[in-house]
Structure 1
């Protein structure tokens, strides 16, 4: 490494020394959020308000540089702080008074040089970053849209945050000028390493000073460093460019995937393609394999391309276009560590085999139907046993035929030992005990509703309150002389029946607010006017010699009916 260890103000570094910077491809994208933005602006204001501000410069931090290449110096450490400084400048610049022309000129020079940004962000985020700076320099009010990655969204929101913060100040022009002056006079220390290979290694080893790196971001830098080590220089750049494109696709997909982090998907992909559920620490395992000589440059490229495909597949899987089987599994929202590795395993098996592209999604949908049965059983029984230990053999030898998969799971669920917790006996016991407030009761009743609606009116999930349930016999006692419910002073009714599945109904949002704990006869009338078939069905639970009164007998009869239906709905075929 060189000894270029110097101190500058931000204005000296960027304007007087005319330094132009780029974020190397192994770096993570912009990741600061509201908490860091608030700290940033609070620090600037505290410095600007200090009585000794003229004596002590604000310290913006240490910047670690790569050697200059093609007119630009690589920024290894300091990207988050410098990017935020430029985004704040972009937000403050339009607020400067006409008298502050010198400061305004310096601010513009910090952002752009001859119309080109002083800092080039990672390639896939650069266009949004550039448009934000151009808008400020040209004093334009047009919105900046088109963001597709999380980093692009955060850049746009950072400018909005700083703009809103400035607008809340009593004298916005004065505050904008004072804080920009403080920022341009802020001190930075710099250090330059000797070559790009050392830079990648240093980034991979260093502790990040801002938001914690995800394992996906760490993996990107680690793989790029390994490619520097494993390939001659003329081959390394092309290979690194391929890795960069893979992670560009990953970071574009990630914000559109619901309920899963980047590291979740990395882990699920690793389960599916690199050894099963037994490997929890992906980075640790990969580094150990590199050390043992098991991972070549070709392996790294294949890994990155498949990881990118895994993100794309999950993004596509979550789109509402694949029918009831996928929609049910997503709505169940349980055991993603079971579901996604199995789906990814099937996806990659088909891609690596002789299957036609037209076969992929029909097969995935059929497998989803089988997995929904398994996951509902897991969720309902909720054993402390680790499900993935039992499923490892299924993952590693996954049948692509849904019937064969169902038969394999059925045989396992019928065996003793490892699978004891989820056998049919345990499943039936859990169904019979299902009661409020177990949220699996809502899912069961939703599936029951779909079954009833199959040949009639299809009620949309958006019309139903899937966070609350209607108690037919209400939770709060009705005080009318003849409410039509059981005796609320009956301990057995309160403990055994009032919250039982048989006393629960799905309800539409509009219906829920209109009935409360009214008398049962009035409720029954309202049930006849609803689009929900299970509410209209309540009248069928009265035998001919029964009055229309809702109590333990009717609740238990309906409960038994639902349990029997659920056993069939979530049973596993032996064929």
Structure 2
């Protein structure tokens, strides 16, 4: 490797060089509100300590022949620092506009312009409207970032920018988070905080010469303990192997990130890493954790052609994965009316291990095969969850093996998938035994199981569809979860905990009725149950008393229906 220079510099000194650029292969801005809050609060707390310095971590740059410094690592922190300075500039201007003292007004405006010139953008000496950014970001964010925060506007009549991508919204959110805190400070504190970020917030600066392969640098950084996410390591390996196809691979990777970030309800690294693990399992059958996954990825993706094909497959699977996480009827309508409901049920069951099979199936099966296949997968998941085997490592390996066989074209349709699922599926006898004593506390699962049994047993079968709207239909515990001490319940059920969470003790009931009868004794409750439209609820109301024997009998009957409802074949 070429010469590497090390230094410790203040954030302001790095930005003021005006030669920083974030290359297109880097991830777009991804910090969420919590990360920005921590950035601000750490700096704010540190500046209150006399003589203190705050180390922000490492920044790694690659020096090009033209003097440009490409940011290899640290782009999120540098971008947030720029947003901080932009928020200070705008807060100073706002205060200048409301400042009654003319001298203070001039000082605020002059300080704002100085901050802009030092940390945000250079002004051409011969053309005051021409600005060059101190930090250039990647193509996805470039136009929005420069116009929204650096005041680099284009066109004869430039308009205020509108966020159009998830990363744009995050940039705007970070700026707003910092700005809201600055508005709470007096002007002297803002000055102290700005000077502290400029000079006393330090970074460990590593500068590589141009001849250094940036993707080898990432590998070196990771090996030296500077943690990179699995997503970053996968991305950099793909780009490093893509050679002349880098633009194609970079675009496909950007689509993967954008697709999943648009549905992110967790940290981006978490959702990306989970997707990559499930994607890789669907392709290879390898059940490995993050570090081992990357090593396996490197061994298999060794050429530009493989990098291109892998990135394209990732893009397709990312769309499917998004629709698995947030199913909608629109996304799944081409596959049949039952598919969206099956996917919702799989999510309620927490059947994440089955996702590699679904990814492989969606990429390889004909559309006509998907509905039956998903029905079989849902039945499989129900049987495994009820049988208490959902957390088993062997189940995850089994699913991964099936996914790999689909990707290898060894399983090509729903019949083949059904045969593969039967290899380890709990038998009817095993499933019936487990279901007959199944307890659960997650009411979303109970609602689905009870609704399916109700729809199966309604006459003629399937004529009644139970609404999934929890505001309309609730799960009622016949034996209350908290019976009053003077009620007959404690006589009939001396060990209430052994029965209250049994599925046989639960019925579907209209929400408004459920709220009124929750803790009534059975003699009063049964009249409301008899009046219910649901046959399975009505049948409980027809019992003269509700006892452990009646509960056991009912759940055994439910178990016999369950083996027919959740069958595979």
TM-score band, normalised by shorter chain:
0.7 to 0.9
Cα contact 1:125–1:152 (8 A) shared by 2: yes
1:178 aligns with 2:192: yes
Q: 1:332 aligns with which of 341, 346, 357?
A: 346
* Structure 2 counterpart SS, 1:535: helix
1:381 aligns with 2:397: no
Q: Match for residue 21 of structure 1?
A: 20
Q: Match for residue 39 of structure 2?
A: 40
Matches of 1:460 and 1:7, distance apart in 2 = 59
Cα contact 2:339–2:374 (8 A) shared by 1: yes
Residues 198 and 552 from structure 1, CA distance in 2 versus in 1: closer, same or farther, beyond 3 angstroms?
Answer: closer
Task: Give how far 1:368 is off.
Answer: 0.7
Structure 1 residues 40-72: Cα deviation after superposition (integer angstroms, max 9, x where no partner):
32343345434447xxx7655554322337774
Cα contact 1:493–1:552 (8 A) shared by 2: no
Matches of 1:517 and 1:80, distance apart in 2 = 54
Matches of 1:209 and 1:279, distance apart in 2 = 22
Q: Match for residue 283 of structure 1?
A: 294
Residues 533 and 69 from structure 1, CA distance in 2 versus in 1: closer, same or farther, beyond 3 angstroms?
Answer: farther
Q: Match for residue 572 of structure 1?
A: 568
Task: Give how far 1:248 is off.
Answer: 0.7
Q: Match for residue 516 of structure 1?
A: 518
**Where do 5+ consecutive residues of structure 1 fail to align?**
228-235, 351-358, 414-418, 543-547
Q: Report matched runs for 1:339-354 at 5 Å.
A: 339-350=354-365
Q: Match for residue 416 of structure 1?
A: none
Q: Match for residue 263 of structure 1?
A: 273
Matches of 1:29 and 1:88, distance apart in 2 = 18
Task: Give how far 1:433 is off.
Answer: 0.8
* Structure 1 counterpart SS, 2:490: coil
Q: Report matched runs for 1:467-486 at 5 Å.
A: 469-478=475-484
Matches of 1:154 and 1:2, distance apart in 2 = 36
TM value normalised by structure 1: 0.78
1:448 aligns with 2:453: yes
Q: Report matched runs for 1:382-397 at 5 Å.
A: 382-383=388-389, 384=392, 386-391=394-399, 394-397=402-405
Q: Match for residue 160 of structure 1?
A: 176
Matches of 2:89 and 2:511, distance apart in 1 = 48
Moved more, 486-495 or 379-388: 486-495
Q: 1:126 aligns with which of 139, 142, 152?
A: 142
Q: Match for residue 356 of structure 1?
A: none
Matches of 2:227 and 2:4, distance apart in 1 = 28
Q: Match for residue 297 of structure 1?
A: 304
Matches of 2:531 and 2:20, distance apart in 1 = 67
RMSD: 3.6
* Structure 2 counterpart SS, 1:488: helix
Q: Match for residue 125 of structure 2?
A: none
Q: Report matched runs for 1:2-401 at 5 Å.
A: 2=3, 9-15=10-16, 17=17, 19-52=18-51, 62-68=58-64, 72-96=68-92, 97-98=95-96, 99-109=107-117, 110-113=119-122, 114-134=130-150, 146-149=163-166, 151-169=167-185, 171=186, 173-186=187-200, 190-195=205-210, 197-207=212-222, 213-227=228-242, 236=243, 238-255=244-261, 256=263, 261-274=271-284, 276-280=285-289, 281-289=292-300, 295-317=302-324, 318-321=326-329, 322=332, 323-333=337-347, 334=349, 336-350=351-365, 359-360=366-367, 362-383=368-389, 384=392, 386-391=394-399, 394-398=402-406, 399-401=411-413
Residues 167 and 211 from structure 1, CA distance in 2 versus in 1: closer, same or farther, beyond 3 angstroms?
Answer: farther
Task: Give how far 1:517 is off.
Answer: 0.6
Moved more, 552-561 or 87-96: 552-561
